[in-house]
Structure 1
């Protein structure tokens, strides 16, 4: 069973391929600031990557996203590493790979059967 895909957006700064990250371009008159990166040698902006986050992954683990990192002079991205952190939720406790929730069930429902609403992730 494959982990669901999540799309993450993050800010990155890649090498400018127009000036080969030098910040300058050669003209007939000499050198001038690169018009693409405005002399910085880098291009900044948002990037989106699709990531599979395995169920039950523990805080402190790292996920490797091949090609999701900074792009170098060859135009290919290096690897992006994501550090997993838990987002605390006072309703849930973690038991190994499982999340558990405690809630009260009225005696009559427990004895005679019925339905109860259980809030999970994303509920408020």
Structure 2
């Protein structure tokens, strides 16, 4: 069910079962879900990477529940968890064109480290 919902949010780049399994291999991996009844309306994952750096991945809130502070809550929960696990810093990635996500991440204290460019060519 989670992968179906995640693909609803990012239909062009769904996480997929293999990558989810890869993330869950981290011994400190955790997920936080926000539910309304039995329905997942928002979620995020977090774990410690090499060097005790916290990683936050797959922050999403489904469309009808956006703009209610749920994503900010998920981020604070993930950051608190990572700090409790011994992390002194946290990283996440976002598309440079995703203005809403950039604004959200900056509002909780994240600063842009670098801008990644990916190139594509059909052959």
Which TM-score applies when normalising by structure 1?
0.23
Structure scoring higher RCO (CA < 8 A, sep ≥ 6) equals: 1
Q: Choose between structure 1 and 2: higher helix proportion.
A: 2
Q: Choose between structure 1 and 2: higher strand proportion.
A: 1
Which TM-score applies when normalising by structure 2?
0.24
